């Protein structure tokens, strides 16, 4: 197949590029490198089946080659990034999604939207099933990301209904692993970076808010399985291993062997108290279940951070 992946130099996008290339596909990576990392794809540049287009997908893009899939992953995804680029985040979620759907319609290609658990906001129920409409502050500091993804889902659904485009929507829950930026501001990368550099681990609030963290290999497997089934979504992908941020900090300190301690700061505005997916649909439709627990995932991730720190 020939696939176009927006945000292909990002954390999840680069893993997808590499896996799809290994399966014998042609991959066109579109990225403007606002938050993407060229190092993530440097081993792919010389692959004749890999094409890099440096472009902001919020602006129109013409592709002459026939496409089978458009996978839209472009967006700042960590609070640090989307709070720094709120308008660009809104544009890539709205204008970027609209442009990608236009390319999909032109090529009669299938369309895959990478949405997020953030569409559930600060959930009033847990775990969150796909039928839950969420609890989102539309004018809060996080709304640039939350509402951009909600609008992207609405655009995708409208194109499916009006233009009969074959679309899929995945809602991705917290994911971690190699190829994360050291400074991306997400809690796993923050903790690993701080532990390896001897800094105290910054915990917001009391650290009793819970998350469920999915290792990147499990997520990529779920995404590829989702591409193969006849179901539009939305579909949750993540893990049900739920624990507190304070427990995560202890795990990172243990696996890194760090002498760092936890330090506590005020809770950010609209920070969700808990986040855990209901995976009933994914397990049934995909015969998929995340297998890598947090300790093993950290053991796979930390060497990447050590290497990056050693070369920086």
Percent of the chain with pLDDT over 90: 86
> What residues pair up with 201 in beta bridges, in sequence order?
262
- Per-residue pLDDT, 31: 98
C-alpha 195 chain-centroid distance: 23
Q: How far apart are CA 88 and CA 58, in angstroms?
A: 8
Q: What is the largest CA-CA distance in the chain?
A: 58
> Is residue 204 scored above 90 in pLDDT?
no
Averaged pLDDT of the chain: 94
Average pLDDT estimate for 284-303: 95
Q: Give the pLDDT band (50/70/90) at residue 312.
A: low
The SS3 of residue 153 is: helix
Q: How far apart are CA 118 and CA 86, in angstroms?
A: 15
| List of domains in the chain | 2-173+216-237 (3.40.50.720), 176-211+241-276+292-311 (3.90.25.10)
Is 145 noted as a catalytic residue in this protein? Answer: yes
- Per-residue pLDDT, 207: 86
Phi and psi angles of residue 53, each rounded to the nearest 5 degrees, phi first: -120, 115
> Is residue 249 scored above 90 in pLDDT?
yes
Strands 201-204 and 262-265: parallel
Could you say which of 82, 120, 145, 176 is catalytic? 145
Buried b (16+ CB within 10 A) or exposed e, 165-199: bebbbbbbbbbbbbbbbbebbbbbbbbbbbbbeee
CB 223 within 8 A of CB 281: no
């Amino acid at each position: 197949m020939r696939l176009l992946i927006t945000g292909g130099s990002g954390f999840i996008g680069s893993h997808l590029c590499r896996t799809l290339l290994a399966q014998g596909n042609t991959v066109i990576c579109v990225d403007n490198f606002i938050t993407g990392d060229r190092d993530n794809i440097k081993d792919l540049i010389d692959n004749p089946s890999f094409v890099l287009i440096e472009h902001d997908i919020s602006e129109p893009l013409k592709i002459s080659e026939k496409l089978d899939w458009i996978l839209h992953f472009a967006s700042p995804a960590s609070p640090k990034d989307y709070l720094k680029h709120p308008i660009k985040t809104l544009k890539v979620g709205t204008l970027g999604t609209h442009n990608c759907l236009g390319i999909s319609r032109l090529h009669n290609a299938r369309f895959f939207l990478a949405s997020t658990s953030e569409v559930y906001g600060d959930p009033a129920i847990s775990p969150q099933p796909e039928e839950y409409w969420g609890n989102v502050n539309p004018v809060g500091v996080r709304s640039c990301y939350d509402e951009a993804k909600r609008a992207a889902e609405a655009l995708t659904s409208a194109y499916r209904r009006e233009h009969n485009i074959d679309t899929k929507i995945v809602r991705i829950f917290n994911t971690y692993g190699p190829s994360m930026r050291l400074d991306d501001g997400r809690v796993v990368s923050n903790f690993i970076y701080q532990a390896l550099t001897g800094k105290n681990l910054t915990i917001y609030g009391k650290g009793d808010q819970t998350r469920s963290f999915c290792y990147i290999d499990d997520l990529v497997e779920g995404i590829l399985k989702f591409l193969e089934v006849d179901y539009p979504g939305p579909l949750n992908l993540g893990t049900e291993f739920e624990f507190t941020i304070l427990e995560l900090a202890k795990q990172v300190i243990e696996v890194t062997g760090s002498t760092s301690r936890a330090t506590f700061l005020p809770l950010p505005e609209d920070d969700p108290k808990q986040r855990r997916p209901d995976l009933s649909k994914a397990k049934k439709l995909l015969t998929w279940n995340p297998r890598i627990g947090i300790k093993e995932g950290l053991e796979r991730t930390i060497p990447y951070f050590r290497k990056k720190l050693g070369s920086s």
